Structure 1
Amino acid sequence: MLITASQCRMARAAVGLTLRDLAGAAGISVNTLSRIEGEGNVTSRTLAKVQEILVQHGAVFRRDGSVGVQRP
């Protein structure tokens, strides 16, 4: 299941990444990330990459739509 725009925004804030940090880590432009967070059109591949980076930084996406953080 791919994340929603609001989950992306919540997760990015929860793990402490800026737009620039997350975009750089995912290999996408800040404009593309802004489109993701603004519910714009992006490919599922791009969205999956952003989700993968957020998970690597500790974000946990729950089925109820909420977002948590898993810290080591």
Structure 2
Amino acid sequence: MPAIVGPISINSVGGGVVNFGDSFYLSPKSTSKTNSGSGALNTGNWIITNNGLSSTNPFDPDGADQNITANA
């Protein structure tokens, strides 16, 4: 069933998706990228990582990983 939603003003959303009524497709409106070495993003109480040599290459030849300009 279609939903009728009146005027709404959302000033900010910190993570997550706001959905009112029916929606066919929800897509992200912001993207980010993180470069880190091996074992850098592990979480927990007792983390043991054995890395002899770790190297991270932040070079990205494609320029844009996830385009959001057409998601208006």
Q: TM-score range by the shorter chain?
A: under 0.3
Which one has the bigger helix percentage?
A: 1
Higher RCO, 1 vs 2 (CA within 8 Å, ≥6 residues apart): 1
Which one has the bigger strand percentage?
A: 1
Larger Rg: 1 or 2?
A: 2
